[in-house]
Amino acid sequence: MNVIGSHDQALVVLSILIAVAASYTALDLAGRVPKSSGHVRNGWLAAAALVLGGGIWAMHFIGMLALHLRVPVSYDIGLTVLSFLLAVVATGIALYAASHVTVGYGVAAFSGVFMGLGIVGMHYTGLAAMRLPGTLSHDMIFAGAAVVLAVSASTVAIWLAFRRHSVPQRLAAAAALGIGIAGMHYVAMAGVSFMPQEGPDAVSEGSIGNVELVIVVAAATFAIVVAALLAAMYDRRFAVLAEREAAMWREGEERYRTLYRRTPLPLHSLGSDGRIEQVSDRWLELLGYRREEVVGRLLTDFMTPESARVRIEQHWPQLLGTGELHDVEYQFVTRDGRILNCILSAVAERNAQGKLVKTLCGLMNVTERRTAEEALRQAQKLEAVGQLTGGIAHDFNNLLAVVLGNLELAAKRAPSDPRLQALLDNAIQAAQRGAALTQRMLAFARRQDLKPEPVDVPDLVLGMAELLRRSIGPSVRIETHFPLGLPHARVDANQLELALLNLAVNARDAMPDGGTITIAAREEAVAASEDETNRPPLRPGRYFCLSVTDSGTGMDQETLARATEPFFTTKGVGKGTGLGLAMVHGLAAQSDGGLMLASQKGRGTTATIYLPIADEVHNAGASPAAAEEDLFVPAGEGGALRVLVVDDDPLVLAATGAMLEDLDCLVTEAASGQEALRILETGVAFDVVLTDQAMPSMTGVQLAALIAARWPNLPVILGTGYAELPPDAKAGTMRLGKPFSRETLRRAVISATRPPPDNVVPLSRLG
């Protein structure tokens, strides 16, 4: 047995180069498969299989041509064609299988084994196609080594064909693959032995000789070279187009970024994961962040926890589902900790497969609008509460009028039992405390009965110094700072005392461990264009500013904003009504002034009351002696005074009638204005009419107008718990404030039925 002959070194090198070239071209073509689809994908697969299979086949037969034998050799056409088809089909099936799944180690190994065995089959089919005088035998060790090389090279080829790699990596892989396939061939040939035999010529019908084989191999090699050149040209063209497209994309992206950043709108774009990719300069200015602090972070990182929860649980799924989000409101946190109310709208961009690519979003700052709306809602709420409070106080005044009137009558007529008198006195005091509470409620509702007059505030504070000291206790020191020459304030002195006492008690409660209360005053001029940030809204003019400052715990901004709300208190259950500051606020507003509160947590509170300045001090009125003289109730022309009492509340009507009868008046009662008119039309003469104001169908003012038109000499007293009369009330109408005592009622009747002397100012406001 003789080992097969030697090889031509030039042809061996050529075979290896063809294997490398075919491998590079096939890898390049196969690399386009993952980027394509449909017929284009199948075309690239077929081209890769044809080039790789054909290259392997050409490498084999060039290697066979390189073999030097001393006998004539020819090749069977059928087996030669079959060997070519084996290489192409095996390669094509392996590439096709690998292209339809994700290439992993298992897929690469399976496809590599299939293609490697196909290549080995091609090799031995090509050997079987040889026609020569003699027999060939194979060493199984070399044959096994050839199989290992073919499978290993094929596995590497499959693995690299569908992975991303650069041109140098592709060249290295092609060299390894080509050398591996060529190595398989020459290792297998090293295990082949030839035993010559005497016989006829090896060339037979249906076979081709070396010359024809050279032509076929040359054609296959030429096709591989042309394919390689076309692939290279395509790669070059593709690279140029890709570079041009990339340059245009980069230029467009840069223009987009510049335009995006410089837009005057607060815009931002998010990636598919919800992280910020781009922000405009206006967006950064709005929230106060730098660009590097924002890009790459989640949008929810800049929201309050509640807004972030709503964004994650509701709005982000809605955006993914519908692709749009319109006018949803979030609270954003600026870099310095401020809270901004912003409205966000967004549009999602998707690729051809429907996958979310990015989200384009815009913000609109509505903080000032929300603040204004909240202020309006607060004002409307306070107005509603004020109306409710005023109505409740009015009805409560009616009840107190009944209680006080009956208690006074009971106290007057009760037997001289000290215990009973003490009980009645306690009941009267309790009713009077209820009347004081209604005054606070009316003060908040700005419906209390005020008697504004010029008041020397420093003298007023000095006069109530002892009351203040007893009210706040020994642990708190009171200091006063009043400059000389302060003008008088125009205000109800009694109500100002009550307001000052309320502020002092609040200040004491804010200093549980003791401290200092400072009462100060100053004069301040308010201009029309002056900023109202540091003071309440006031009309232009001169104002007297009375301030009460404590060194206590102070209030945070949330508590400060609600401090003047009615029934709002931080003192705990049973320790405060929540009407103190509301009463002060109402007094200041009803006096054409205002209340300003300033406070910081841990630094105390300052309450400042703005009051209009009284330019002149009027001291009109009767002397005490004259006043005492006016208290006498004279009899009417026919004896006792006849009084027509009108009220829709039967309890108030009965109590008022009882007090008038106790004053020795003759009383006729009417439950409505219409009934009172019917009584008057009967011709019965009355000295005075006492009517309630708030009655259904016909008010007291309307009744007084009808009486004035038909009985002009009949005086009318209007009983009401409100401070102001309706605009249609006749000028000079006498008003009796509710609840009233027996003595107050007597003075009102006297004032209405007995004209004052020429030097006495008539009483028009009693109570």
How far from 21 is each of 33, 99, 172, 366, CA to CA, in Å? Answer: 19, 22, 11, 68
CATH superfamily of 263-365: PAS domain (3.30.450.20)
The structural domains of the chain, with segments of one domain joined by +, span 2-220, 263-365, 453-612, 624-766
Where do we find the tokens 């964004």? Answer: 311
| More confident of the two residues 542 and 34 | 542
**pLDDT for the residue 116:** 83
- Label residue 575 by pLDDT band (50, 70, 90): very low
The DSSP string of 555-602 is --HHHHHHTTSTT--SS-TTS--S-HHHHHHHHHHHTT-EEEEEEETT
How far from 206 is each of 144, 201, 218, 365, CA to CA, in Å? Answer: 31, 14, 21, 90
**pLDDT for the residue 202:** 46
Burial 647-681 (b: 16+ CB within 10 A, else e): bbbeebbbbbbbbbebbebbbbbbebbeebbebbe
Q: How many residues does the chain have?
A: 767
The DSSP string of 299-313 is GGGGB-HHHHHHIII
**pLDDT for the residue 409:** 77
**pLDDT for the residue 420:** 79
For 263-358, where are the alpha helices, taking DSSP H only? 281-287, 305-310, 316-322
In this predicted structure, which of 313-317, 551-555, 607-611 has the lowest mean pLDDT? Answer: 551-555
Q: How far apart are CA 749 and CA 504, in angstroms?
A: 39
How far from 128 is each of 55, 213, 386, CA to CA, in Å? Answer: 19, 15, 112
pLDDT at 203 over 50: no
| More confident of the two residues 724 and 26 | 26
Q: What is the mean pLDDT of residues 493-503?
A: 83
In this predicted structure, which of 92-96, 179-183, 414-418, 604-608 has the lowest mean pLDDT? Answer: 414-418
**pLDDT for the residue 139:** 83
- Label residue 246 by pLDDT band (50, 70, 90): low
pLDDT at 762 over 50: no
- What CATH number does domain 624-766 carry, 3.30.565.10, 3.60.130.10, 3.40.50.720, 3.40.50.2300? 3.40.50.2300
Burial class of residue 705 (count of CB atoms within 10 Å of its CB; 0-12, 13-18, 19+): middle
Same fold, 263-365 and 624-766: no
**pLDDT for the residue 222:** 64
| More confident of the two residues 708 and 219 | 708
**Strand, coil or helix: what is 146?**
helix
- Structure tokens that stand for 557 in this block: 């901004």
Helical packing angle, 650-662 and 367-413, nearest 10°: 40
Q: Is residue 584 within 8 Å of residue 503, measured between CB atoms? A: yes
**pLDDT for the residue 279:** 87
**pLDDT for the residue 757:** 47
Burial class of residue 23 (count of CB atoms within 10 Å of its CB; 0-12, 13-18, 19+): buried
Q: Is residue 217 within 8 Å of residue 58, measured between CB atoms? A: yes
155-175 pLDDT per residue, tens: 877 777 666 556 676 777 777
pTM above 0.85, yes or no: no
**Strand, coil or helix: what is 197?**
coil
Q: How far apart are CA 65 and CA 200, in angstroms?
A: 22
**pLDDT for the residue 249:** 67
In this predicted structure, which of 85-99, 335-349, 369-383, 443-457 has the lowest mean pLDDT? Answer: 443-457
Q: How far apart are CA 207 and CA 145, in angstroms?
A: 30
Find which of 232-246, 466-480, 693-707 is predicted with most confidence, using mean pLDDT. 693-707
pLDDT at 201 over 60: no
**pLDDT for the residue 488:** 92
**pLDDT for the residue 688:** 93
433-468 pLDDT per residue, tens: 676 666 656 655 545 556 788 999 999 888 888 778
pLDDT at 324 over 70: yes
Find which of 250-254, 428-432, 533-537, 735-739 is predicted with most confidence, using mean pLDDT. 735-739
What single DSSP character describes residue 35? G
Q: CB neighbours of 125 closer than 8 A, spacing ≥ 6?
A: 79, 82, 83, 86
pLDDT at 559 over 90: no
Q: What is the mean pLDDT of residues 569-584?
A: 57
Q: What is the mean pLDDT of residues 385-411?
A: 70
Ramachandran quadrant class, 547 (left: phi over 0; alpha: psi -120 to 50; beta: rest): beta
pLDDT at 756 over 60: no
| More confident of the two residues 632 and 288 | 288
pLDDT at 764 over 50: no
pLDDT at 221 over 70: no
Query: Percentage of the chain with pLDDT > 70?
Result: 72
Find which of 82-91, 559-568, 672-681 is predicted with most confidence, using mean pLDDT. 672-681
Burial class of residue 289 (count of CB atoms within 10 Å of its CB; 0-12, 13-18, 19+): middle
Q: How far apart are CA 315 and CA 348, in angstroms?
A: 13
For 643-758, where are the alpha helices, taking DSSP H only? 650-662, 673-681, 700-710, 742-753
Q: Is residue 722 within 8 Å of residue 447, measured between CB atoms? A: yes
pLDDT at 258 over 70: no
- Label residue 631 by pLDDT band (50, 70, 90): very low
**pLDDT for the residue 32:** 63
| More confident of the two residues 508 and 395 | 508
Peptide bond into 739 cis (omega under 30): yes
How far from 358 is each of 272, 291, 314, 323, CA to CA, in Å? Answer: 5, 19, 19, 11
700-727 pLDDT per residue, tens: 999 999 999 999 989 999 988 765 566 6
In this predicted structure, which of 79-83, 230-234, 394-398, 726-730 has the lowest mean pLDDT? Answer: 230-234
**pLDDT for the residue 199:** 53
CATH superfamily of 453-612: Histidine kinase-like ATPase, C-terminal domain (3.30.565.10)
Nearest to 187 by CA among 231, 222, 148, 228: 148
What is the chain's percent helix, strand, coil content, to nearest 5?
Answer: 55, 20, 30
In this predicted structure, which of 181-190, 392-401, 452-461, 521-530 has the lowest mean pLDDT? Answer: 392-401
**pLDDT for the residue 75:** 76
Q: 604-612 and 476-481: which strand pairing?
A: unpaired
In this predicted structure, which of 190-199, 427-436, 440-449, 583-592 has the lowest mean pLDDT? Answer: 440-449
- Label residue 230 by pLDDT band (50, 70, 90): low
127-159 pLDDT per residue, tens: 887 777 777 788 888 888 888 888 888 787 777
In this predicted structure, which of 283-292, 357-366, 556-565 has the lowest mean pLDDT? Answer: 556-565
Q: How far apart are CA 197 and CA 200, in angstroms?
A: 9
**Strand, coil or helix: what is 184?**
helix
**pLDDT for the residue 540:** 85
Query: For the chain, how many helices (H) and strands (E)?
Result: 22, 24
**pLDDT for the residue 443:** 54
**pLDDT for the residue 616:** 41
**pLDDT for the residue 408:** 77
Mean pLDDT of the chain: 77
- Structure tokens that stand for 525 in this block: 């001029």
**pLDDT for the residue 760:** 37
